[in-house]
């Protein structure tokens, strides 16, 4: 899964979280809090691939100071693509959130992004070692898409990205409070 598709997955996870808690009348107090939430989720959605310098973030300064040694020590799709890592990030997030008096959903934002990444890779290439380091086997969906290479026309990745984009737009629009179908009709008839 490419970085862009991972960010689309992260965005969707973020929107689902916000929408779900809106059902229970839990809404962020400030718009800035919501922006911060999505920025952290988007960063979290790229974080697991800091295990390789070949990823978008991992190849850049200052992140290659992490990706090179991590990749050398553990390899790609190991620790950072597991439930263990999600749990670690969640605990760190909650600890930090308590210290700075954040709402729980903001403290969970990084872990939500990481979880979206791990789930995304479950559907791509060789899958993910969900129970690493306890069980090193990689788990994947019974059909997997292949990650798009630069400049390649890759229908499976493009299709997944399109579905994600569409879901984001539908959920995002309905979150703002518009009737999705009314908006689609408006766009189509304009
Ligand atoms: Zn990955």
Between residues 104 and 179, the one the model is more confident about: 104
How far away, in angstroms, is 76 Cα from ligand 1 center? 8
Q: How confident is the model at residue 178 (pLDDT cuts 50, 70, 90)?
A: low
How many CB atoms within 10 Å of residue 74? 14
Tell me the CA–centroid distance for residue 188 and ligand 1, in Å.
Answer: 37
Specify the pLDDT at position 29: 67
Give the Cα separation of 9 and 169 in Å (integer): 12
- Ligand 1 center to residue 119 CA distance, Å? 9
Measured in Å, residue 150 CA sits from the centre of ligand 1 at 16
CA of 173 to the centre of ligand 1 (A): 28
Residue 93 has, within 13 A of its CA and on its CB side, a CA count of 22
Q: In this predicted model, what pLDDT tens digit does every residue of 150-165 receive, in sequence order?
A: 888 899 999 999 999 9
Q: Which two tokens stand for residue 174?
A: 């309905």
Residue 174 has pLDDT above 90, yes or no: no
Q: What is the pLDDT of residue 68?
A: 95
- Distance between Cα 77 and ligand 1 center (Å): 6
Using one digit for the tens of pLDDT, what is the confidence trace for 19-51? 887 777 677 667 888 899 999 999 999 999 999
**Residue 130 confidence (pLDDT) above 70:** yes
Compare 23 and 147 and report the one with higher pLDDT.
147
Question: Distance between CA atoms of 142 and 84, rounded to whole angstroms?
Answer: 23
Q: Is 99 left (phi over 0), alpha (psi -120 to 50) or beta?
A: alpha
Helix-then-strand count for the chain, H and E: 8, 0
**Gap from CA of 100 to ligand 1 centroid (Å):** 30
Q: What pLDDT does residue 19 have?
A: 84
Q: How confident is the model at residue 180 (pLDDT cuts 50, 70, 90)?
A: low
Query: Cα of 117 to ligand 1 centre, how many Å?
Result: 6
What is the Cα–Cα distance from 93 to 79, expressed in whole angstroms?
18
CB 1 within 8 A of CB 147: yes
Higher-pLDDT residue of 20 and 72 is 72
For position 141, what pLDDT does the model report? Answer: 96
Quote the pLDDT of residue 190. Answer: 77
Domain chopping of the chain, boundaries: 3-189
Please give the Cα distance from 168 to 12 (Å, whole number): 6
Q: How far is CA 72 from CA 1, 68, 82, 133, 152, in A?
A: 21, 6, 18, 16, 28
């Amino acid at each position: 899964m490419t970085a862009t598709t991972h960010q689309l997955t992260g965005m969707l996870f973020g929107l689902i979280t916000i929408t779900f808690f809106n059902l229970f009348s839990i809404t962020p107090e400030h718009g800035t809090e919501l922006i911060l939430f999505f920025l952290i989720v988007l960063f979290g959605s790229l974080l697991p691939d800091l295990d390789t310098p070949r990823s978008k973030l991992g190849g850049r300064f200052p992140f290659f100071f992490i990706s090179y040694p991590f990749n050398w020590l553990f390899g790609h799709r190991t620790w950072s693509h597991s439930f263990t890592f999600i749990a670690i990030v969640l605990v760190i997030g909650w600890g930090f959130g308590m210290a700075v008096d954040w709402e729980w959903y903001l403290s969970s934002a990084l872990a939500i992004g990481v979880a979206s990444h791990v789930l995304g890779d479950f559907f791509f290439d060789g899958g993910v070692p969900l129970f690493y380091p306890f069980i090193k086997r990689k788990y994947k969906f019974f059909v997997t898409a292949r990650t798009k290479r630069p400049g390649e026309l890759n229908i499976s990745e493009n299709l997944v990205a399109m579905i994600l984009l569409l879901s984001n737009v539908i959920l995002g629009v309905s979150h703002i409070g518009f009737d999705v179908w009314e908006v689609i009709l408006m766009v189509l008839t304009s």
